Amino acid sequence: MLTLPLLLCIAGLANAQLTPSPIFTPPPADAGTTPAPQQTVPNQQWSNLLGDLLYFYEAQRSGQLPDDNRVSWRNSSGLQDGSDVGLDLSGGYYDAGDYIKASYPLSWVLTSVCWGATVFGQGYDLANQTAYLDEMLRWGLDWLIEAHPDNSTFFVQVGDDTIDNNYWGGDQDIPTPRPSYQVKDTNPGTDATAQASAAFSSCAFLYAGGILNSTSSATAPSGIENKTYANTLLRHAVGLWELSVNASGGMDVYQDAVPAVGDAYPSSGYGDDLTLAALFMALATSSSSAYQQALLYYSKYKLSGSNAVLNWDSKIPAVYTLFTELALARPAWAGAANLTGWRSEAERWMDGVVSGGKGGAYMTGGGLLYYPGDSDSASLNPALNAAMALTHYAPIASTSDKTSAYLDFATSQLNYTLGDNPMSAVYVVGINPNSPNRVHSAMASGGDNINAIDTDPDGPDLHVLYGAVVGGPDKDDKFWNIRSDYIQSEPALDYAAPLLTLAAFAVMNNPTDPYFTALQAGAYSPPSGHPCDDSWACHSGLSEGGKIALGVVISVVGIAFLLCIVWFVWRMRKR
């Protein structure tokens, strides 16, 4: 008979993570100015980029850090998170340059990375980064498990955005209180629970050893398979799916249920989340009925014909791509006619992107795909997500010409991010001397004066946040490298996510160096002037709020002047 300690040991082995060997340490920025020793697959510079990107997520960890933590300047933090609701919600990731933890964008990050790893998994193996991929995914997934304590509850945020934005400093003095915000059966957040279900399903498929074999070149990372962990993830996927579609409170966006979360990551709807979640549920469970539900929601929420951006809030382009991948990987579900239809829909969106964008998107003068509105707050993210979708889809395009066009465009957006832009700026921190070194990160900066973010410290950040992808340049391709400019200089979990898939693909397929190796120190220099965005006053010297205030003042003075004229005329007539 097995004893309890032995059973616990067996359970622990079943859920054991891979062990990194050898340990990867990001090389100094100067190493990014030289060609790789061998121009073969895998190219060491692409492998370094993939390693740096995963290192960024380790630097963003919350909770009790393990003994093998590689980020020496980080400390265990947020250990009391969840205590206000009697739960342990420590762990997980700080979402950007501050200290809130947000499950909605995190769920998209995990979905995106697991989805990419089921197609381009060999890239992680070739770069010797599979163990770090495993760690990165589990740190996020394990926190989402804690955020789903029962099938009627899901926690969507820890930390108050207003309190958090008024603090600038290290991880040992994070201000309190840190409230825990939840959606539940009677007060639902359909978008948040459906997207979390998609995260659990997509990652359950990965940990079950799944390969999205829509093309013969698809691969999964070797050694990551763990059926016990996959089953745990799938249980939470099913529970959250049931909460999404059968909540007694109906369906609603999560900021209506919890208004406090609306400042950071408000959602525009839940139809795309439901459709994507149903597709990944179908993939993870081999369920044709889940696939039929995806078709139902796709029709109900009128998702066809869209030219939408792809990001944490807008997943319609991912729906097109995944429907087509599943039509090839699971032909019995779709049939030949539907494969043709899904290809047509996906390629309509892809062709629009490659031609410079539709639905309001355009190309900047320097060659960045730009969506006004979405790109104004983080210019690189929509472009990199589009490049990720194109890279997923290119191997299954209807013609070889389309395959080439999609990969060429994806490469152009990747190269722009890695230095092929008018500023010669490399928008990944630490990979090259021309990378940002004044990042809007309270942890990495080393400063503690919120009223002097740019001058405390007066120079580069005290700590290098290797692998962080910043918001990026403005619509004129200008980037100022100013720490207080959170629009351009803040990193975020979702900014780096598409670049993981693109880098894994490059490790598998590209023997030549990334663009940044051609840039020597000093290639980037800040432009004259200063930014004009939501975090900085525009060139007139007034912020948007200042302009509004000035307009109000002018209006009041004008009205008063007119009243004086009317009074004067009236007085003259009385005489």
**Active centre residues (catalytic):** 95, 98, 265, 490
For the chain, what is the radius of gyration of the CA atoms?
25
**Distance of alpha carbon 173 from alpha carbon 187, whole angstroms:** 33
Report the side by side order of strands in the sheet with 180-184. Answer: 101-102, 153-158, 180-184
Are 84 and 64 within 8 A, CB to CB?
Answer: no
**Distance of alpha carbon 561 from alpha carbon 332, whole angstroms:** 76
Q: Before 22, cis peptide (omega within 30)?
A: yes
Q: Which two structure tokens, joined as six digits, stand for 14?
A: 């079943």
CA distance readout (Å), 353 to 122, 326, 400: 27, 22, 17
Which residues, in sequence order, are CB contacts of 18 under 8 Å at separation 6+? 130, 131, 134, 135, 223, 224
**Distance of alpha carbon 169 from alpha carbon 441, whole angstroms:** 9
Q: Which two structure tokens, joined as six digits, stand for 122?
A: 């060999």
Q: Which of 356, 376, 189 is nearest to 266 (CA)?
A: 189
Amino acid symbol at 438? R
**Distance of alpha carbon 554 from alpha carbon 397, whole angstroms:** 57
Which residues, in sequence order, are CB contacts of 343 under 8 Å at separation 6+? 324, 327, 396, 397, 398
**Distance of alpha carbon 394 from alpha carbon 142, whole angstroms:** 33
Strand ranges inside 118-209, DSSP E: 153-158, 180-184
CA distance readout (Å), 145 to 89, 203, 365, 507, 554: 10, 13, 45, 31, 55
**Distance of alpha carbon 437 from alpha carbon 446, whole angstroms:** 12
Give backbone dihedrals phi and psi of 217, rounded to 5 degrees, phi first: -85, -5
**Distance of alpha carbon 361 from alpha carbon 409, whole angstroms:** 15
Pairing of strands 180-184, 369-370: unpaired
CA distance readout (Å), 139 to 106, 172, 298, 346: 11, 20, 32, 33
Q: What does the DSSP 8-state code read for residue 328?
A: H
**Distance of alpha carbon 186 from alpha carbon 84, whole angstroms:** 20
**Distance of alpha carbon 195 from alpha carbon 416, whole angstroms:** 30
Q: What angle do the packed helices 288-300 and 316-329 form, to 10 degrees?
A: 150
In sequence order, what are the beta bridge partners of 267? none
